[in-house]
Amino acid sequence: MRGVRGYIIRRLLLAPFTLLGVTMLVFCLTRLVPGGPVDRILQERAIGALNGEKSTGIAADSVSESEREKLEDLFNLNEPLWKAYLQWLGLQRKRVETHRAEFDKDGAATITTAAADGSPRLLEVRMHQDGSPLFVPPPWFRAEAWELHIETSAERTERFGILRRRSGSAPPREELPPRAVLCRKAYNGLLQGSLGRSYKYNEPVLGMILNRLPVSLYFGLLGALVAYMLSIPLGIFKALHHGSVLDGATSLLIFIGYAVPGFALGAILLIYLGARLEYFPLYGLTGADFESLSVWGKISDIAAHTVLPLACYVVGALAMTTMMMKNSMLENLSADYMRTAVAKGLSYHRAVWRHAVRNSIIPIASGLGGVVCSVVGGSILIERVFDIRGFGMLSYQALMDKDYSLIMGTLLVSSVVIILGNLLSDILVAILDPRITFR
């Protein structure tokens, strides 16, 4: 394992640049592809209008101005693409708090802010005839952390009219009054440990990921462990008894398992073993009365809910890994070094376990990166069939909802785990095969 330490350091140093490229590409695609949070709300409002739902106010049959501004502030939709990406990284300040107030006929606006203890504080802003703001900050106000500007009536009416025309509604008939906009900017991105908030659920993205990740890790790690524990001995057995009746029978079962998708197998198991025979629960990871059960009852409840999803997770990996192990074993059993080892007096049994098995596991170890990827992402369709709230289902929901912050958060976690999984795979291959050197 010469040069392993230097190789690991180089890979870890290249990892941030890989993540930078992946996140930049996906960030640009999510912003440039048609459709987004605002468009989704417009579609929901249009469907509601077709169903006879009525709305009142200036945003009838469309998204309200306050809703649009909330989404703009949440996802930085009013910022240039490059600037929004730097703000997501935490390399540039972004709006973390915004207050708006309309001017009255006398040209005065009162902005309501909150003090540290939550009590309201009022700020008065006046507008000159030339449109510039007049603002005398009170002693308690930190002017260096805030920015104040005036949104004119024409700017406000034009911006909101474009949104209404996109939804097929008529533009506003009257001009909207000018407003004073006070915003506080700060560094609040990836480098500061923040992945933003989900517009769909209005929760921190990092907290949502941490809540869903243990479920996928549970099924993924357990599925990988079961698959390897079964496939490696089965592959060795099939190679040593190649052409026998048991080899043919197990090959038939393996090919069937490889051909049947996991979600299709899940639907079949749910119908026969869940609904008809009632051997296993139908959905979820725990039952409705989980909290009231004893410790042993909770373990039994989780185990009962695990059997069917775990079988769907394992079936594909088990079939592929078994055949890979068998083919690798057959190749190594017929290698010259095996005949040489036996000719030198080593028993065939010891030659198989000392040389052939170790060399045959190398291809299995090289695929560890893909296994780690499946551990994190899981199977979206399997989670959907069994109604399991895992990380894979969270990623799917983020894409369907066009939830920008959630998409970027799930992508970042998946990319980090895949990079670390591939690195671990390379290290294991080097441990198993001393011929491999890192330069």
* 177 CB burial (10 A radius; 0-12, 13-18, 19+): middle
Measured between alpha carbons, how far is residue 356 from residues 222, 258, 319, 350, 425 in Å? 27, 26, 21, 9, 20
Q: Is residue 357 part of a domain?
A: yes
Q: How far is CA 163 from the centre of its chain?
A: 30
Distance CA 100, CA 151 (A): 10
Report the pLDDT value the prediction gives residue 61, as an integer from 0 to 100. 43
Q: Output the average pLDDT for the chain.
A: 80
Mean pLDDT of 365-392: 75
Among residues 144, 162, 192, the one where a domain terminates is 192
Q: Picking from 162-171, 285-294, 303-312, which range would have the lowest pLDDT averaged per residue?
A: 162-171
pLDDT tens column, 128-186: 766 667 776 776 677 667 888 787 777 777 766 655 554 445 555 566 778 888 888 88
Q: Which of 158, 192, 226 marks a domain boundary? A: 192
Q: What is the mean pLDDT of residues 102-113?
A: 80
Shared-domain flag, residues 211 and 185 = no
Domain that holds residue 56: 37-192
Same domain, 166 and 292: no
CATH number, domain of 266, equals: 1.10.3720.10
Residue 114's H or E segment, with its range, is strand 108-114
The answer to whether residue 2 sits within a structural domain is no
Please identify, among 159, 192, 225, the residue that sits at the C-terminal boundary of a domain.
Answer: 192
Per DSSP, 79 falls in state S
Q: Is residue 23 pLDDT above 90, yes or no?
A: yes
Number of domains in the chain: 2
Q: How far apart are CA 337 and CA 333, in angstroms?
A: 9
As a whole number, mean pLDDT of residues 423-434 equals: 77
In this structure, the answer to whether residues 222 and 119 fall within a common structural domain is no
Q: Residue 420 corresponds to which amino acid?
A: L
Q: Say whether both 42 and 172 belong to one domain.
A: yes
Express as a percent the part of the chain with pLDDT over 90.
10
Q: What is the pTM of this model?
A: 0.79
Q: Which two tokens stand for residue 128?
A: 């000159």
If asked whether residues 169 and 316 sit together in one domain, one would say no
Specify the pLDDT at position 167: 47
Say if residue 101's pLDDT is above 70.
yes
pLDDT of residue 41 exceeding 70: no
Asked whether residue 395 is domain-assigned, the answer is yes
Nearest to 308 by CA among 360, 263, 254: 263
Same-domain check for residues 100 and 246: no
Decide if 11 is inside a domain: no
| pLDDT value, residue 409 | 92
